[in-house]
Amino acid sequence: QLFAHWEAVASTHRVSLPRGERRAGEADGAAGPPPASPPPAHCLADMAGPIAQMTRHGRLREPVPYVTLARLDKCEEAAYEERQYPAGKWACVTKGEPMYEQSISMSFMKLMRYICKENSVGCYLGMTIPVLNEIHLTKEGTELAREVLTAFYLPGAFQQNPPVPMDPEIHITERAPLRVITRVFYGMTTEETILREISLFWELLGSTDTVLQETYIVAAYENPSIPQRRNEIWFIRRA
């Protein structure tokens, strides 16, 4: 039942969840609609175990450390916030699927397996939030480039000695300190909603050349099973 729930969630992201066994009652060669972006069997194994483990530990989430530098409030709510994030080690996956939702879903499935067991210490590492999705706009600025980098901040206990991923597509990277301006939004993250949120944020922020205009970050704080989940758009301050 738990796996079926996550399968339904994954279908909204135009991906299918791989698992080692055929569904009960499914005949050999049974016809059915093909997934929009089927994960390669040699890249993604059974996800039922990682999903169950992540669900058990769902409430234990370590926040990525940061310092608040400034905050602008409007109508008693935070319009946006400026933060400084320190340098740190992140586990990163880059995907370039046809749709943004496919890229982030397939990358996070890989990271889930790394977090849960497929690492050199062979144990659950712990979850941190937010998970970052670094995106780029095309030259015209009207679409997202296909390539998306998804990054998971390693928990504090593993920052000095990161466990080695078993998946060669996962890279442990030391990311430089990051200064960002952030704005919260809720719901699903699609190319359409992200472009809309970027546009709204620019209207709020006004004209400025102190932030990057072609690279942004979408920060995800909650798992995909939450319909009105919390996200943030991050504008990156120029160095």
Same domain, 48 and 112: no
Q: Are residues 115 and 24 in the same domain?
A: no
Q: What confidence score (pLDDT) does residue 3 get?
A: 42
Structural domain count of the chain: 2
Q: Please check whether residues 13 and 98 belong to one and the same domain.
A: no
**CATH classification of the domain holding 226:** 3.20.80.10
Is residue 161 pLDDT above 50, yes or no?
A: yes
Using CA atoms, how far apart are residues 16 and 127, in angstroms rounded to an integer? 23
Summarize the confidence of residues 83-94 as an average pLDDT: 98
Do 28 and 117 fall within a single domain?
A: no
Check residues 85 and 45 and name the one with the higher pLDDT.
85
Domain that holds residue 26: 2-55
Same structural domain for residues 175 and 74?
Answer: yes
94 phi-psi bin (left φ>0, alpha ψ -120 to 50, beta other): beta
Boundary of a domain, candidates 55, 76, 96: 55
Does 85 lie in the same domain as 33?
no
CB distance 130 to 232 below 8 Å: yes
Write down the pLDDT at residue 21: 37
Give the pLDDT score at 9.
Answer: 47
Looking at the fold, whether 172 and 191 belong to one and the same domain comes out as: yes
Q: pLDDT value at position 139?
A: 87
pTM as predicted: 0.80
pLDDT in tens, 196-217: 999 999 999 998 999 999 999 9
Residue 147 confidence (pLDDT) above 60: yes
